[in-house]
Amino acid sequence: AQTVTQSQPEMSVQEAETVTLSCTYDTSESDYYLFWYKQPPSRQMILVIRQEAYKQQNATENRFSVNFQKAAKSFSLKISDSQLGDAAMYFCAYRSFGSGYALNFGKGTSLLVTP
Amino acid sequence: DAGVTQSPTHLIKTRGQHVTLRCSPISGHKSVSWYQQVLGQGPQFIFQYYEKEERGRGNFPDRFSARQFPNYSSELNVNALLLGDSALYLCASSPGQSVDYGYTFGSGTRLTVV
């Protein structure tokens, strides 16, 4: 089974600054999908950004971008111009392309944004 | 448009009891998946249903079961509750079987087993 590792239990960033959250994964597959989800105190998981493994171009969604290093099996999330509303748990997730439709999540990183 | 709705939002059960959790997907979504999120962990996949059929099952005991109804809503049932079943149970819906464009999650049901 694929494993997803988020090595930073907690991160802190000042408003307007940039922060990078790390994620590594273990897989023998060549095609797969990677996701970052945000979970605020409201508990609802919200999709932040997704990346297809076959695409070399890193995905970008407004202030959120990823650094996808396929050979290193690394998928980090960069948040630019951090806002107070970005404070939440962030989960990295892996989805196998060929078999099954489940998402494998990491343990999450708690992001604190300070004024 | 209503999002994914789950009920109840919280409940407390006693060990050995049975519980039913409910989920209504976004209108037009035919797939519902269930996840268990223990405190301090990421969600773990329990089931996926698509067009009323089970299409995927995670590593959970047979005490866990689910079904999907003709209107695509879903129930998750857990029998013989254990203390370790205490968790946030998340439901997610998607238009088709694939989750390539991500699920839409509900806000979950917080289950406490005492």
Using a CB-CB distance cutoff of 8 angstroms, which residues of chain B are in contact with residue A46? 105
CB contact under 8 A, B98 and A108: no
Averaged pLDDT score across all residues of chain A: 93
> β-pairing, A19-21 with A3-5?
unpaired
- pLDDT of B1 above 90: no
pLDDT at B99: 59
Question: In whole angstroms, how far apart are CA B64 and each of B12, B35, B67?
Answer: 17, 11, 11
Omega into B43 within 30° of 0, i.e. cis? no
Using a CB-CB distance cutoff of 8 angstroms, which residues of chain B are in contact with residue A104? 45
Q: Which residue in chain A has the smallest CA separation from B36? A: A105
* Phi, psi for residue A99 in degrees, rounded to 5: -125, 125
> Bigger pLDDT: A2 or B62?
B62
Q: Check if the beta carbon of residue B34 is closer than 8 Å to that of residue B90.
A: yes
Q: Is B36 on the interface with A (CB under 8 A)?
A: no
C-alpha A113/C-alpha A65 separation (Å) is 18
Question: From its phi and psi, is residue B51 left (phi > 0), alpha (psi between -120 and 50) or beta?
Answer: left
How confident is the model over B52-83, as pLDDT tens digits?
999 889 999 999 999 999 999 999 999 999 99
C-alpha B47/C-alpha B35 separation (Å) is 7
CB contact under 8 A, B100 and A44: no
pLDDT at A89: 97
Using a CB-CB distance cutoff of 8 angstroms, which residues of chain A are in contact with residue B31? 101
Q: Which two tokens mark A28?
A: 């023998």
| Residue found under tokens 């948040």 | A79
Q: Is A43 on the interface with B (CB under 8 A)?
A: yes
Please tell me what DSSP assigns to residue B103.
-
